[in-house]
Structures are given as structure tokens and as C-alpha cells.
């Protein structure tokens, strides 16, 4: 263990040294550098930074863990999160880059010719981003507490200090180049253990191919074996079980897709490239960089689940004695994320779908990726690399979210609404103060997560899907949507989604209990709360189109602005206003 601890300190310490060095080198000297890195980032570099910004602790730590226990039902995350980038690349990024402003609320305020619309967009952005950042801070705390053997609270504090240093000092410029380094670290940390494990199980070094291969020394396919062992333990078949109904699967995937396209911390990355065509190009590069991890995740999930069961039940029907449990089991027990209770007093570990028999009383899904190299008995340097990768994933997204929050406060509220005459130097200082306050607020929520924190990531996508995405789509593709319609749409979309999530006894509750009988009381048509963002988006679009019919048309100059954004004249040049 001492060797592992030393290697972990070396790997994590070296990665932090890189982040600090980049922050000092890329110090922002202007608001343009703070908000959009000076607008001169190469598309490939921006694609890599976007991938790191996008692939959070949820992608690195949680997604494979979810798929490992949900099986086929977990594919909603793969399809939703990657599919959203196609929408972003085709329908949003190039047009917003052509418009040429710094932030999403600034575009919404100008397009809908209203300070009110800008303020509502800021509120929606902060709700989405704060919800999302809670999960990142939790990921930082969990990773530090296990691998640096400090308390969760100390781990979270260390993470806050690191983000504070490179985000407050460098702004988007520092964050961009730090995220490029973080992408390289996290992708190596994710793929190298997966290659080792795939080679051990199937003899195939590529995990994407290993998942569909036969196990070494047999003619049994890995997935067939996994189906067999999970069903023998009483769980649902791994490869066929849907997540709820087919409708729920569809709506959940749609919610994640349009939520991806509407997340402000991802959208602002496309303001950092020099030209309009670069925005589309960098979205394509981001999708390639993301696909490396996302095509590996199903293999990581399946192999981790199989290794977990094989460790606990080395021979079919013969359980492992608790006193003989492996070292990885003891390590994770200490974190409280893995729990055992000897229910029948036989001293054996029994793992079953039957809760009265199952003595593995707690297996936190978030441990699967981090524990996977230990379960597979990989070299210590691989385990240390995974620790650095998990922290890189959490820190990179936290920085992007915090920048989105601080720019909304300093640029959109302070400069855009409250004190328009503020100087650039004062605005830059206000941006840094807002960033510091955002980090403090995120840290507080990390220490004291609200009750809904368990589903924060999917919830954040639902909130973005129901509020920001429809406003952007209508702002770009419809000249007739009025300011009143946009405000009413955003407010109604995010309100309906929040009410549904928090199970308020409104229309959704009455409909579900009246027509669905034994469905969960807060599930409308069998749609789970984290998937409801797509329904909120439909409400947003519907309300906006109805209100537009009964309000005065937008001014001609606004309609001309929308027309100019969509016409491919001068597409090679960005139009900075």
C-alpha cells in the first residue's frame, strides 16, 4: 500500500503541477481572454478542451458504474450524451459563433431585445450549472478521500483551492489549456486499465472489440457469460433489460441529447475559436475525442461487473469467506462506499438480487471505475493513473461550469444590466470575484449536498433541455418568436421540470395517479423525473409559440439579425459586434 500511496502522490502531484504551470503561463489580461480565451483557440485544441469540459466526473466515474448495474438500460447515457453533440455541431455552434458574443444570456438578451429575457436566461443558467457542479465537487471529494487517504472534507477543500488557482487567474484562457492537459490525462487513465483488463479476459487489447469477444480458453462470449452469472444471482439479464418503459428510454435519451446541446458551459467553448467554420470543426473534433471514452465505457462496465462477481464468487455457488476478502474490498470498505453485513452468520459474502440474502448491503456505483484496476489486480501505477484521471475529469468540468456561472454574473448581470458603464478592468476584477464566490458556493454545496444530489447530473441536463435549448433554437430558426414568448417559454419549461422532479402535487401527480394505477405516484406516463427535461422542452416550445401569436412581432432589425445569422454569406469570417 505504501508503494501505491507514493505512486498516487507522484501522479496526482505531477498533474497538479502541470495545471498550475499552465495557469501562470496563460494568465488572462483582458475580458476577452477571460471569457473566450481571446477567440484564437485552434479547432483541434478547442475540441480537446471541449471534450474535457464535457467529460465530467459523471462520464469518467459514474457512467460505466451505471451501465455496470443497469446493463442495456444504461445505454441512454451513451446515446443521449454523444447524440447531443451532433445537434450542437449542426444546429447551434456555428450560428452562435457567427453572432460573435461572449455568453449565452447575452445572445438571448439581444435576440429577444429584452433585459428581462437576459435575466431569466442568467437564472436558468445558474440553476443548471449549480445543479451540475454539485456532482463534480462530490466526485473530487470521493476521489481524494480514497486515493490520498484524507477525509472527504479535506479532499473537497484541496480540489477547491486547485480550481480557484487556475480558473480565477487564467479565466477561459487558463481553463482551455488546462483542459487540454486534463483530457490527455483522463483519456490515458480510462483507456490503459481497460486495455489491460480486456487483454486479461479476452486476449483482445481493444476493449471495444473485447466486449464482443470470447473469454480466453473458452468459446463462451463475454456478454453471454455475464448474462449467465447475473441471472444465476437473480438479477435481470444484462444485455436486454430496458430502463423502465420504451417511452421512458426514448424520452430520457432525448432529454440528455437536447440538454447536452443546451448546457451553457459547453456552448461558450465555441466562442473561443477564430472563425465560424472552426466552431463546427471543433464540435466534430470534440465528438471524436469523446467517442474514445464513450466507446470504451460499455466494455469497462461489463468487464468490471464480471470481475466483481468473479472476485466474490470465484467458483459458481461457492462464496468467498469474509475474512479472506481481497485488499481492494478492505480499501473501499474504509470509504463507506462498500458495505457488508453477515445476515446469516456463516462468515461468507453472498451477493444476490434478493435483499434478504444479499450481504453486500452497499455497492456505490461510483466506485466501479475507480476500483476496477484494483479488482483486476493491475499494477499500482495503473491504479495511481486512474486516480489522476478521475480528478482531472471532475476538475475540468467544475472549472467550465464555474466560468459559466461567473461570466453570467459579471458580464450579463453586472455589465449587461446593473452597471453598463463599468470599465474593462473593473469587469475583469468583478469576473474574478464572481468566480471566487462561485467556487465558495460550489464548495458549500459539496459539503452540504441537497437531498436531490444523487441525480444531479441527469437533472442538470433536464433543466438545460427545458429552458435554454428551446430559447436558443427558436432564437436562431424563427424570426417571429417575441420577447414575451421567450420569457414565458423559459419560465414555464424550467418550472414544470422542477415541479415534477420535486414531486409537487400538480397536474402531473393527478394524471399519474388517475390513469397509471400502480406507477410511482410522481411518474407521468411512466417517465422518470430525471428524464422529464424533454417534456419541459415541449412545454417551453408550445407556450412560446402560443404567446408569439398574441403579442407584437419582433422589430425589423431583430428579424434582420436572425436572417443574417442563418445566411451563409461571409461564413468564413466571424461577425463581432
Q: Look at residue 278 and tell me whether its pLDDT is greater than 70.
A: yes
Residue 233: helix, strand or coil by DSSP?
coil
Instruction: Round to whole Å and give the CA distance between 189 and 386.
Output: 5
Q: Assign 275 a pLDDT band (cuts: 50, 70, 90).
A: confident
Is residue 218 in a domain? Answer: yes
Report the number of distinct structural domains present in the chain. Answer: 1
Query: Judging by beta carbons within 10 Å of its beta carbon (0-12, 13-18, 19+), is residue 520 exposed, middle or buried?
Result: middle
Answer whether residue 382 shows pLDDT above 80.
Answer: yes
List, in order, residues 6 or more apart from 554 with CB less than 8 Å away. 112, 113, 479, 480, 481, 482, 483
pLDDT at 30 over 70: no
Model confidence at 511: pLDDT above 70: no
Q: Is the pLDDT of residue 412 over 60?
A: yes
Q: Which of 396, 408, 87 is nearest to 260 (CA)?
A: 87
Cα first-last separation, the chain: 58
Domain contains 322: no
pLDDT over threshold 90, residue 539: yes
What confidence score (pLDDT) does residue 34 get? 66
Q: What is the pLDDT of residue 344?
A: 76
pLDDT over 50 at 54, yes or no: yes
Contact at 8 Å (CB) between 561 and 492? no
User: Rounded to an integer, what distance in angstroms lies between the CA atom of residue 185 and that of residue 19?
Assistant: 11
Least confident interval from 230-234, 464-468, 482-486? 230-234
- pLDDT tier for residue 316 given thresholds of 50, 70 and 90: low
In a domain, 559, yes or no: no
Structural contact between residues 222 and 208, judged by C-beta atoms closer than 8 angstroms: no
How much of the chain, in percent, has pLDDT values that exceed 70?
87
CA nearest 303: which of 253, 368, 247?
368
Q: What is the share, in percent, of the chain residues with pLDDT greater than 90?
A: 22
Residues 80, 253: contact at Cβ < 8 Å?
A: yes
DSSP E strand stretches across 349-403: 362-363
Predicted confidence at residue 568, as pLDDT, reads 60
In a domain, 340, yes or no: no
pLDDT at 38: 55
pLDDT of residue 249: 87
* Strand ranges for 368-447 from DSSP E: none
Residue 328 domain-assigned (yes or no): no
Flag whether pLDDT at 459 surpasses 80: no
- What tens digit of pLDDT does each residue of 166-182 get? 677 666 777 788 888 88
Give 56-113 pLDDT, tens digit per residue.
777 887 788 888 888 888 888 888 888 888 888 888 888 888 877 768 888 898 899 8
Domain at 429, CATH number: 1.20.1730.10
Position 473 pLDDT exceeds 80: yes
Helical residues (DSSP H) of 212-275, grouped into ranges: 222-232, 246-262, 264-267
Q: Is residue 514 part of a domain?
A: no
Highest mean pLDDT among 264-273, 297-306, 328-337, 517-526: 297-306
Using the structure block, give the residue that is written with the C-alpha cell 471534450. 51
| Per-residue confidence (pLDDT) for residue 545, from 0 to 100 | 96
Higher pLDDT, residue 177 or 117: 117
Confidence class of residue 356 from pLDDT cuts 50, 70 and 90? confident
The answer to whether residue 502 is domain-embedded is no
Mean pLDDT confidence for 222-250: 85
Q: pLDDT at residue 236 above 90?
A: no
Which pLDDT band, with edges at 50, 70 and 90, does 20 fall under?
confident
In a domain, 111, yes or no: yes
Q: Which domain holds residue 428?
A: 2-21+40-310+376-448
Tell me what pLDDT residue 380 has. 87
Split at pLDDT 50, 70, 90, the class of 552 is very high
What local confidence, expressed as pLDDT, does residue 37 receive?
Answer: 56
As given in the structure block, the three cell numbers for residue 143 are: 476521489
pLDDT of residue 498: 87
Q: Which residue has the higher pLDDT, 152 or 305?
A: 305
Amino acid at each position: 500500500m505504501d508503494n501505491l500511496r507514493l505512486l498516487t502522490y507522484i501522479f496526482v502531484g505531477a498533474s497538479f503541477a502541470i495545471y498550475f504551470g499552465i495557469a501562470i503561463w496563460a494568465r488572462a489580461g483582458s475580458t476577452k481572454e477571460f471569457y473566450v480565451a481571446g477567440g484564437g483557440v485552434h479547432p483541434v485544441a478547442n475540441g480537446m478542451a471541449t471534450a474535457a469540459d464535457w467529460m465530467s466526473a459523471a462520464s469518467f466515474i459514474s457512467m460505466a458504474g451505471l451501465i455496470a448495474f443497469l446493463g442495456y438500460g444504461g445505454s441512454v447515457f451513451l446515446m443521449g450524451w454523444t447524440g447531443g453533440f451532433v445537434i450542437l455541431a449542426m444546429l447551434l455552434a456555428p450560428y452562435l459563433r457567427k453572432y460573435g458574443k461572449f455568453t449565452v444570456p447575452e445572445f438571448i438578451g439581444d435576440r429577444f431585445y429584452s433585459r428581462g429575457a437576459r435575466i431569466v436566461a442568467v437564472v436558468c443558467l445558474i440553476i443548471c450549472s449549480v445543479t451540475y457542479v454539485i456532482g463534480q465537487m462530490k466526485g473530487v471529494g470521493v476521489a481524494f478521500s480514497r486515493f490520498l487517504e484524507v477525509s472527504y472534507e479535506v479532499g473537497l477543500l484541496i480540489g477547491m483551492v486547485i480550481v480557484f488557482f487556475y480558473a480565477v487567474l487564467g479565466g477561459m484562457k487558463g481553463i482551455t489549456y488546462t483542459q487540454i492537459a486534463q483530457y490527455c490525462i483522463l483519456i490515458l487513465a480510462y483507456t490503459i486499465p481497460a486495455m489491460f483488463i480486456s487483454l486479461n479476459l479476452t486476449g483482445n487489447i481493444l476493449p471495444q472489440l473485447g466486449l464482443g469477444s470470447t473469454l480466453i480458453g473458452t468459446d463462451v462470449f463475454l456478454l453471454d457469460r455475464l448474462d449467465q452469472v447475473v441471472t444465476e444471482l437473480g438479477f435481470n439479464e444484462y444485455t436486454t433489460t430496458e430502463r423502465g418503459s420504451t417511452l421512458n428510454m426514448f424520452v430520457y435519451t432525448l432529454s440528455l441529447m437536447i440538454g447536452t446541446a443546451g448546457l451553457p458551459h459547453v456552448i461558450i467553448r465555441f466562442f473561443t475559436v477564430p472563425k465560424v467554420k472552426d466552431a463546427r470543426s471543433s464540435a466534430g473534433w470534440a465528438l471524436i475525442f469523446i467517442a474514445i471514452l464513450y466507446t470504451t465505457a460499455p466494455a469497462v462496465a461489463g468487464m468490471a461487473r464480471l470481475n466483481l462477481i468473479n472476485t466474490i464468487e470465484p467458483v459458481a455457488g461457492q462464496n468467498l469467506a469474509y475474512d479472506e476478502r481481497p485488499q481492494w474490498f478492505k480499501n473501499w470498505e474504509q470509504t463507506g462506499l462498500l458495505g457488508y453485513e453477515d445476515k446469516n452468520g456463516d462468515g461468507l459474502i453472498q451477493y444476490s438480487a434478493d435483499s434478504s440474502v444479499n450481504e453486500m448491503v452497499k455497492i456505490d456505483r461510483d466506485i466501479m471505475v475507480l476500483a476496477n484496476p484494483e479488482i483486476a489486480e493491475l499494477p499500482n501505477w495503473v491504479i495511481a493513473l486512474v486516480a489522476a484521471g478521475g480528478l482531472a475529469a471532475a476538475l475540468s468540468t467544475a472549472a467550465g461550469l464555474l466560468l459559466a456561472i461567473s461570466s453570467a454574473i459579471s458580464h450579463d448581470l453586472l455589465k449587461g444590466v446593473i452597471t453598463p458603464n463599468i470599465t474593462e478592468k473593473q469587469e475583469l476584477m468583478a469576473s474574478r470575484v464572481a468566480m471566487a464566490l462561485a467556487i465558495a458556493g460550489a464548495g458549500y454545496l459539496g459539503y452540504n449536498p441537497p437531498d436531490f444530489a444523487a441525480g444531479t447530473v441527469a437533472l442538470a441536463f433536464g433543466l438545460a433541455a427545458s429552458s435554454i435549448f428551446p430559447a436558443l433554437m427558436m432564437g436562431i430558426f424563427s424570426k417571429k418568436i417575441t420577447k414575451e414568448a421567450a420569457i414565458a417559454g423559459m419560465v414555464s419549461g424550467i418550472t414544470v421540470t422542477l415541479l415534477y422532479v420535486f414531486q409537487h402535487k400538480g397536474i402531473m401527480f393527478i394524471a399519474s395517479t388517475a390513469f397509471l394505477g400502480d406507477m410511482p405516484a410522481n411518474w407521468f406516463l411512466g417517465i422518470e423525473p430525471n428524464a422529464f427535461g424533454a417534456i419541459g422542452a415541449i412545454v417551453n416550445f408550445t407556450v412560446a409559440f402560443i404567446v408569439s401569436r398574441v403579442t407584437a412581432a419582433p422589430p425589423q432589425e431583430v428579424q434582420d439579425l436572425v436572417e443574417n445569422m442563418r445566411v451563409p454569406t461571409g461564413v468564413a469570417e466571424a461577425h463581432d459586434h
